[in-house]
Amino acid sequence: MQDFIDYFKDSLDIKDVNPKQYSPLVLAYIGDSVYDLIIKSKVIAEGNSPVNRLHKKTSNYVKASAQAKMFREIEDILTEEEFNIYKRGRNAKSGTVPKNADLIDYRVATGFEALIGFLYLDNRFKRIIELIVRGVK
């Protein structure tokens, strides 16, 4: 995994950044993509299926209510720093209203995505996987 990340960053000339310098919504923006890639990788590892079936399975993990549920599963193992990052994301005002999600679940999901984004930008990939594994059980 680290070889891929190093190759990816070197090839695209991506420099390490200080994730503390990014707004919680920027962290959620990248965290959403990282989480989505991990979940899609998990779903396709379960076996080859028609794309619409893969999409339905993936949706069960990535919708706001599922992310809120996942957060509740991991909340008790977060460090103080991680919980504070989550809270910043949860409390950020995005200016959009979810059309298919409860507002509370949407905010919790945004906080969760901000946490994933922070950990990703901080190169803490093992911690991301640890949290997701715990959350999907």
Return the active site residues. Answer: 32
Please report, for residues 27, 85, 132, 136, the alpha-carbon distance to residue 17 in angstroms, rounded to integers and kept in the order given. 12, 16, 23, 29
Please identify which residue in the block is written with the tokens 């070197």: 10
Burial of 42 (0-12, 13-18, 19+ CB in 10 A): middle
